[in-house]
Structure 1
Amino acid sequence: MKIGIIREGKIPPDSRVPLIPEQCAAIMGKYQGVDIVVQPAPGRCYPNEAYRHQNIKLTEDLNSCEVLMGVKEVPVSQLIPNKTYFFFSHTIKEQPYNRKLLQAVLKNNIRLIDYEVLTDERGRRLIAFGKFAGMVGAHNGIMAYGNRTGLFDLVRMKDCLDYAAARQVYKQMQWPAMKVVLTGTGRVGKGAALVLRDMGLKKVSPEEFLTQHYEEAVFTVLACADYAARKDGKPFQKQDFYQNPSAYKSIFAPYAKVADVMINGIYWDNEAPAFFSLGEMQEEDFNIQVIADVTCDIAPVSSIPSTLRPSTIPDPVFGFDPAAGAESEPYQPDTVDMMTIDNLPNELPRDASKAFGQQFVEHILPELLKPHSKVIERATVAANGQLGPHFKYLKGYVEGVGV
């Protein structure tokens, strides 16, 4: 098998890599018959020379590769027909902005394997950048609160060499009294909680968060049962919430009245309740001033109505005026500041790439080398010009039904 690591084509280009140079060399040393080549690219967190130093061939021409690996969506014009691709396609939730990409994948007889749905038999993801998205999202949320209030000045994560350097910065910081509410207990939530702990924020229970006054910076972590309840008053059941999200309502309002910063790290289903409505954001007792929406599902179908668009690493924060229901300049009175970068791990690219590549080597590559793999099958969005067996529900989306 010949694997090609592609140049990231999405603008702005991502600096992460699916496999770091040492991992490429280790794979070729372990698996006879597996060859890896790399398409040269400027701006990667591991430069061309780092691959060359590991005796990895750099080449523009990837036509001889059977498998092509990237990180973000591949522009339609850059797709090579009849190949197997690995990347985050952002199509499985029927995202309108990537309909043409999936149409092109099918037209070009491409086998698309989406990292997001590489799971074990219990449905648990085997490979993800989520931890690092949560880490950078938490950092940026606190950074934005400092910018808004003028109480402290936190350096950007992207300007730190790696997370070890960021931790050294945290040791020098003095935080004001502030309350941070973090939603989600998965990879993203765990990554965000790690950063908040390393910053020195005190973790408190949801009940303490709502009822106690603190003279220091604190945070709480909300699981599903803390922010959602059945509409009919029956007891909360996690599995039922996942299977029947439309049967639930939000009970997040008390947290919105006391939190200064919200970090959103949940996986959100389109049928699940939003945390709050635009009307609730307009109420005088809505206290949240900064929202770091790591989930970044775009309104109106989203868990947060002020997530109007993704922000960018060069321009990470925009304002939202609840009274107007529209975007505004950031850091203004009577607005909420939104941090909605959708490629957050790219601010911590070396750490994120190394961890991601290790997951690929351990969990995915052995499956890829099998004649048939259930893991690969479950993640195959398209193959042989057809939608994969687990993605037939995308037929209307591909055909533009309801557009």
Structure 2
Amino acid sequence: MNALHLWLRHETRTTERRTPVVPADARRLVESGVTLTVEESPQRVFPIEAYEEAGCRVAGTGSWVSAPSDAVVLGLKELPDEPAALTHRHIFFGHAYKQQPGAETLLRRFLAGGGTLLDLEYLVDDDGRRLAAFGYWAGYLGAALAVLHHRGRLRTPLRPTSKEELDAELAGDGGQLKALVIGALGRSGRGARVALEAAGIEPTCWDLAETRDLDRHALLEHELMVNTVLTTSPVPPFLTDKDLDEPGRRLRTLCDVTCDVGSPMNVLPVYDTTTDWTEPVRRLRERPALDLIAIDNLPSLLPLEASVDFSAALLPMLLEFETGGAWGRGLDRFRQACREIGAREGEFRDA
């Protein structure tokens, strides 16, 4: 078997500053025999020189399209719209397996070129637990932004920061704010609870037991809510438009960390587009006011901390690439998604 050639691509989204592999872990990959090519990227939190010092090759921004056919292209967020046919194996968060908008278009690009998507969201162990995730930092930042907005202290446009700086902004002023975290026992929920604790807030915590027969009236009694639930099959929504118009609603700030907008798995079908760093808050109701935060790359606001944690979790998987296990499950899930849009078995490339 040929040695693994990883190609770390530049992220086209201008607010994406994270990386799935930090320089220290890049060095470990190179020392283990992996060829690692890193594209130049002015926004990546680590400079290209740090990768060069780790023994990586350097390539131009966006040059993955002409990378050797055996290279595995590694990234985080969405690919550019071109090329129309994707020929490589790609590792990134594709958001294409739950009928999200644009999902079929992306899958057909892979089918057209014979490429393969190994979605990081579906890199899981034998029990279905994700092996590398940004969930903790997504929950932490979602809750932090919600608190700062609720207190009238959120500065826009958003900019990358550090945990120390953000903790200092959150400190004090806890008051009697009544906050709710849904999915409180998961990675994202844990991060949300830590941020609320830093803000002096002790939240109500709901998880599976409380959402099986969700009490919407009790939910609406909270002033601030952070949703961190990620579902893989449709469930009854936590809130609907009708609920937002209920008399006596106390809910004023809603943060959806999950951002499954447009998917049948969306537990908060009360909005149709995400928010962003420039305009992080959208008004959903005027009387009484209800504001939404739904940013789908929250951890990029803490790019250093988030990248270091994610890279450490992903490294063992990359060192074991092509040995089956989690990667084999990821390939199976890609093929299942392709079959769901009508692809035939013969259209799949052997990964």
TM-score with structure 2 length normalisation?
Answer: 0.87
Q: Are 2:301 and 1:355 equivalent residues in the alignment?
A: no
| Cα distance in 1, alignment partners of residues 182 and 161 from structure 2 | 28
Match of 2:245 among 282, 300, 304: 282
Aligned to 1:209: none
Instruction: Tell me what 1:293 maps to.
Output: 256
Question: Which of 198, 219, 236 in structure 2 is aligned with 1:255?
Answer: 219
**Amino acid across the alignment from 1:368:** F
CA–CA distance in 2 between the matches of 1:85 and 1:254?
Answer: 44
- Rounded to whole Å, the distance in 2 between the matches of 1:222 and 1:309 is 25
Counterpart in 1 of 2:8? Answer: 5
The answer for the alignment partner of 1:337 in structure 2 is 291
The alpha-carbon deviation at position 379 of structure 1 amounts to: 0.9
Q: Is residue 15–residue 44 contact of structure 1 (8 Å, CA) maintained in 2?
A: yes
Q: Name the SS for the 2:37 alignment partner.
A: strand
1:125 and 2:71 correspond? no
Partner residue, 1:326: none
Q: Is the 8 A contact 1:264 1:295 kept in 2?
A: yes
Residue 395 of structure 1 pairs with residue 349 of structure 2: no
* In structure 1, C-alpha distance between the alignment counterparts of 2:27 and 2:157, rounded to whole Å: 29
Contact in 1 for aligned 2:157/2:279 (Cα 8 Å): no
1:91-120: CA deviation from partner (whole Å, max 9, x where unpaired): 010112232111101111112100000111
* Distance in 1 of aligned mates of 2:332 and 2:15: 24
> What is the rounded CA distance, in whole Å, between the counterparts of 1:156 and 1:199 in structure 2?
19
Tell me which amino acid in the other structure corresponds to 1:344.
Answer: L
Quick one: distance in 2 between partners of 1:20 and 1:79?
Answer: 30
Counterparts of 2:110 and 2:15 in 1: how far apart (Å)? 20
Instruction: Measure how far apart 1:195 and its partner are.
Output: 1.2
Contact 1:134 1:189 in 2 (8 A): yes
1:51 aligned residue: 51
Contact 2:158-2:280 within 8 A present in 1 as well:
no
In 2: Cα distance, 1:57 partner to 1:80 partner: 26
Relative to structure 1, the CA distance from residue 122 to residue 264 in structure 2 (aligned partners, 3 Å threshold; closer, same or farther) is same
Please give the secondary structure, in 2, of the residue aligned with 1:73: coil
TM-score normalised per structure 1: 0.77
Provide structure 1 residue ranges, at least 5 long, that are not aligned to the other structure.
148-152, 203-218, 230-249, 322-331, 399-403
**Contact 2:134–2:306 (CA under 8 A) maintained in structure 1:** yes
**Closer, same or farther: CA 169–278 of 1 in aligned 2, 3 Å:** closer
1:275-297 deviation line (CA, Å, top 9, x unaligned): 13222211212210110011112
User: Does the 8 Å contact 1:112/1:381 carry over to 2?
Assistant: no
Q: Does 2:271 match 1:307? A: yes
Q: CA deviation at 1:75?
A: 2.0
Residue identity in the other structure for 1:360: L
Give the root-mean-square deviation of aligned CA atoms. 2.4
Larger radius of gyration: 1
- Judged with a 3 Å threshold, the aligned counterparts in structure 2 of structure 1 residues 251 and 300 are, in CA distance, closer, same or farther, namely farther
Q: Structure 1's 271 and 163: CA in aligned 2 closer, same or farther, altered over 3 A?
A: same
Percent sequence identity is 25
Identify which of 20, 23, 36 aligns with 2:22. 20
Q: Distance in 2 between matches of 1:2 and 1:312?
A: 34
What is the CA-CA distance between 1:35 and the residue it aligns to? 1.2
Amino acid at match of 1:67: V
* 1:39 corresponding residue in structure 2: 39
2:320 is the alignment partner of 1:367: yes
Question: Is this contact kept in 2: 1:20–1:46, CA < 8 A?
Answer: yes
Q: Who is 1:181 aligned against?
A: 180
Count matched residues. 334
AA of the residue aligned to 1:40: E
Question: Deviation of residue 396 (structure 1)?
Answer: 4.7
Structure 1 position 195 matched with structure 2 position 195:
yes
Structure 2: segments with no counterpart, 5+ residues:
345-351
Q: 2:263 & 2:126 partners in 1: Cα distance?
A: 33
Q: Give the counterpart of 1:104 among 99, 104, 109.
A: 109
Render the CA deviation track for 1:243-297: whole Å, top value 9, x for unaligned: xxxxxxx3232221x2000100111355211113222211212210110011112
What does 1:109-258 correspond to in 2, within 5 Å? Answer: 109-147=114-152, 153-154=153-154, 159=159, 161-171=161-171, 173-184=172-183, 185-202=185-202, 219-229=203-213, 250-256=214-220, 258=221
Q: Name the CA distance, whole Å, in 1 between partners of 2:76 and 2:168.
A: 29
User: Structure 1: which 4+ aligned runs deviate by more than 6 Å?
Assistant: none
Tell me the amino acid that sits aligned with residue 175 of structure 1: G
- Letter of the 1:68 partner, please give it: V
